[in-house]
Structure 1
């Protein structure tokens, strides 16, 4: 090969490398967090595969608690959520692919965890937070547990026994976002996770609001819950103290058109990853730019 040919080949290779790097870096990386009874590379792997196929070169990672799928699965029931947030923050900070920021997708309780990460771990910056089916005002009941019958029954028995008993609060994930509308004061006093990230305790943690309003967008289920003292009538987010007094910045996000409350037909997390809704409402507005 003569010198001119060698020069042309070098130019072509360099040109292809530039194109590849441009494609690779054109999309903001995505961090996913799974829900109860799932694992980092379990059922949500279909979302990872879909995004990688649709958005060429995108970096998608999924947070795993523990060293294997079994440990990750049990962490969705039996690992303190504050510890999970702390561990996930360390994982995200250590990933060089995320150093310039990332978008986040949380599935069910994974949405609460990612919101806590946004509030507690502002670096590297979370840009868009997409919470699919997140129970941001908590749960009062445990429907459609996706784990084995044995572990689901165990969780229900523990919650019925006493969600706000300190040992249960410290060790049972679902107790940490259990919100009893019949015992609001007990919930605020004893909840070690949800009441904290919703800034329901005194004194308020101003950094939670400061950090959350840095998001470009928060796309979520609707932050609704039962009116205090009963378990039938549900209030709108805008009627809640959380919004009116703007404890975590939702009102400010809403007023600047960065709070997007979306709904879809179907049961909890019942959407088709290849379907029109997911593409039009999630991928195109939040992940494609």
Structure 2
């Protein structure tokens, strides 16, 4: 994860009694290795003195954590993390959360399913998340892994088979715009957290508890297809060419998640970066994420 080397710069920000931060990594990545989110954790601790950072590890080792990013059903992962966060004594006063790639929609699911049972989740920041799913997987994983080719082949031919949905993480947010009916019926994770089968009011209420939902899209993303999903946009149903902005989708127009309400209240933030997937600069990260949402100041 060499792109994270930029995080070793020494600019330091001051925050009295800083709010803890929870991180969740993406597909093929790990919580804690020094070339991965371990470096992000270290960076945040250097920039925000005395901050507590919990970089989520799903499993008993970093290897298990990496494997689970491919093969542990997200519904099980989300419950695992809900229980973990509820037990963490360092989070009892509330926390901010940052999701990286697929960790974005997984943390959103934590908010929707568990926020009423957890300490206050103040800001949810999603970097390159796949909120309306993906239709295409040209590359996968921050770390090269033999599972990647296997994942791509299964998604292309069998994403909605029951056994694939239960055993392959990426299948659970595979969104085929050519077959919306099957997607809504068979998607074990994404169709549920997007309230596309039935309305779960708890999901709406919990999401609206956030102070801000910050959506970061990478304008030159070559990993996430379509990249508009990072802002909750997606293909218009029935084809895979025309793209709809969030505000044009049924999800927004019917306000199935309360996103329209959040947008009108100024709680839905759309940020973009002119780079590839997660390849942002340290200056941008400090000015656009850390200052306004993690320490609540514009002063260095």
With normalisation by structure 1, the TM-score equals 0.89
- Structure 2 unaligned segments of length 5 or more: list them: 1-13, 216-229
1:193 to 2:202 alignment: no
1:219-270: per-residue Cα shift (whole Å, max 9, x none)? 0131111111111111010001111111111111111101001100101111
Structure 1 match to 2:110: 117
Matches within 5 A, 1:87-98: 87-98=80-91
1:138 positional shift: 0.2
1:47 positional shift: 1.7
1:174 to 2:170 alignment: yes
Structure 2 match to 1:129: 124
Matches within 5 A, 1:40-55: 40-42=31-33, 43-55=36-48
Q: Is 1:25–1:58's contact at 8 Å kept on the other side of the alignment?
A: no
1:55-100: per-residue Cα shift (whole Å, max 9, x none)? 1100001110110011000000000000000000011001000112
Q: Is 2:58–2:64's contact at 8 Å kept on the other side of the alignment?
A: yes
1:253 to 2:248 alignment: no
Secondary structure of the equivalent of 1:195? helix
Q: Is 1:111–1:132's contact at 8 Å kept on the other side of the alignment?
A: yes
Secondary structure of the equivalent of 2:240? coil
1:233 to 2:242 alignment: yes
1:103 to 96, 101, 109: 96
In our comparison, the structure showing a higher alpha carbon Rg is 1
Secondary structure of the equivalent of 2:125? strand
Root-mean-square deviation (Å): 1.3
Q: Is 1:188–1:201's contact at 8 Å kept on the other side of the alignment?
A: yes
1:90-127: per-residue Cα shift (whole Å, max 9, x none)? 11001000112110000000000000000001112211
Distance 2:269 2:259 in 1: 10
1:57 to 2:50 alignment: yes
1:15-52: per-residue Cα shift (whole Å, max 9, x none)? xxxxxxxx997111000000000001131222211111
1:158-206: per-residue Cα shift (whole Å, max 9, x none)? 112210000000110000000000000100000010000000012x111
Secondary structure of the equivalent of 1:284? helix
Structure 2 match to 1:287: 294
1:144 to 139, 157, 170: 139
Give the stretch that moved more between structures: 89-98 or 140-149: 140-149
- Structure 1 unaligned segments of length 5 or more: list them: 1-22
Secondary structure of the equivalent of 1:148? coil
Distance 2:246 2:119 in 1: 29
Change beyond 3 A, Cα 1:25–1:64 = farther
Structure 2 match to 1:70: 63
